[in-house]
Chains A and B, each alone.
Chain A
């Protein structure tokens, strides 16, 4: 039942697992950025990312190269995220979390419909920023695209980490999520910080969308399964923790890939349920996730 094992193939699996994991991690990170400040899961995160990717596709159809479109899409996504928060979330900001969740579900449906209207649905191929060739490293065939995806996520994390740690705005964002009332007392406009957080999340999700689209086809429903993985990754990491979301995403990607490849009877059909089962078991022992805080919240 167990497939023949070689180290070179194992290395290839690790790289592809990390690449998948990077995509889950980016979406999971986007979910966490919003969850930390609004306490709600943004079910529209997948559709937002897909929408951004469609914008990239349109730009590329109008003569932009992928890497020229990339920053433009990030800027548009950021503005879009801010706009969504101001227009759609703001009115229900003080409502129960469930209300906010329902609103994000509505937003997901709306964006999904819009994508069918604007880009008339239909899966299309999307040329990413990396060559689809492989390079040979110590006998293993490593996909340049996978390495590229991992590299882009690493760069994104580095930039975000520096931003949150060293800039005044980054600190204000963290403070607003931790303690809105005290934040207002030091002069932070917490309402705008919320909007800024949505902008960041939209941007981070857009990176995920543009990275994953070349691996599959671009269509309005492209991110739906990935959003589920991302949700699992975020829960695994602890919904409160950006670091947790990333670690959770990478672990999930690796686990799914390795289970599917090496545990014969699991194969490709059962690898997702198997991975989710593992998460469930883990959560039994650590209910707050790997990096989460459990009920430590002071009043």
Chain B
């Protein structure tokens, strides 16, 4: 049984049908990427998992149905949404405290771990999140998600708008988390190169449907995937 299972998930925004029957699996300790053109439904897929969009079909996490965003968070899913979802008016430290909202454990221990990954956040501890640079904000979004000690991380385009070096740093952190701590990762990316290099498996979406799925290596060898998403 997979950690996360989506079966024939449909989602709509009013009259717009964004997902038309997506099935997808993320195993325990898996690192999975979702690729696709703009408007393919990548963001909506993540939103369907955390329950931030109206959907039908089945979404199960660790065997249990996921119904609401707060339920998803309490079950161990940390969703870093498109646009990061940090609290611009609150300080870095307050954002991190909110990340640990569902936990009772020692805040400082979790924070020390996050500061280990992103020392920059420690230097900016008392700064308003809205005044951080784009890269720092992405670190904060990720750091906040890590404060929850999630079993599954959902990331929506973590590379968006960031310098290549920062992107590399963030994906290295993700791989490390996945390998050392067994955190499962489901990441949506435009940057297919780095996503396929980090993930073990991937799905390709087109207009709300899965059109290709397989191991990252297979996808990299796939002629049409290469032309559409890898650019060579």
B70 contacts A by Cβ under 8 Å: yes
Do A168 and B85 form a contact, CB below 8 Å, given A184-B73, A186-B148, A187-B70?
no
Size of the chain A interface, CB-CB below 8 angstroms? 18
Closest to B81 in A: A185
Whether B79 contacts A185 by the Cβ 8 Å rule is: yes
Chain B residues near A216 (CB, 8 Å)?
Answer: none
Measured CA separation A15–B102 after assembly (Å): 46
Do A168 and B86 form a contact, CB below 8 Å, given A186-B73, A186-B144?
no
Closest to A299 in B: B83
B71 to chain A, nearest CB (A): 8
Chain B residues near A190 (CB, 8 Å)?
Answer: 70
Chain B residues near A178 (CB, 8 Å)?
Answer: 87, 89-90
Whether B97 contacts A171 by the Cβ 8 Å rule is: yes
Measured CA separation A201–B63 after assembly (Å): 41
Chain A residues near B69 (CB, 8 Å)?
Answer: 181, 184-185
Contact with B along A182-212 (1 / 0, CB 8 A): 1111111110000000000000000000000
B contact residues, range? 20 to 34
Chain B residues near A175 (CB, 8 Å)?
Answer: 87, 90, 94, 98
Chain B residues near A58 (CB, 8 Å)?
Answer: none
Whether B98 contacts A186 by the Cβ 8 Å rule is: yes
Measured CA separation A116–B99 after assembly (Å): 48
Measured CA separation A181–B73 after assembly (Å): 12
A298 contacts B by Cβ under 8 Å: yes
B52 contacts A by Cβ under 8 Å: yes
Whether A185 contacts B87 by the Cβ 8 Å rule is: no
Whether B97 contacts A168 by the Cβ 8 Å rule is: yes
Measured CA separation A21–B153 after assembly (Å): 50
A218 to chain B, nearest CB (A): 40
A174 contacts B by Cβ under 8 Å: yes
A-B residue pairs in contact (CB < 8 Å), sample of 22: A168-B97, A168-B101, A171-B90, A171-B94, A171-B98, A174-B90, A175-B87, A175-B90, A178-B87, A179-B87, A182-B86, A184-B68, A185-B50, A185-B52, A185-B69, A186-B102, A186-B148, A187-B70, A187-B73, A188-B70, A189-B70, A190-B70
B-binding residues in A (CB < 8 A): 168, 171-172, 174-175, 178-179, 181-190, 298
A-binding residues in B (CB < 8 A): 50, 52, 68-70, 72-74, 79, 81, 85-90, 94, 97-99, 101-102, 144, 148
Q: Which 9 A-B pairs have the closest CB atoms?
A: A187-B73, A184-B69, A187-B102, A182-B85, A186-B101, A184-B70, A186-B98, A187-B101, A187-B74
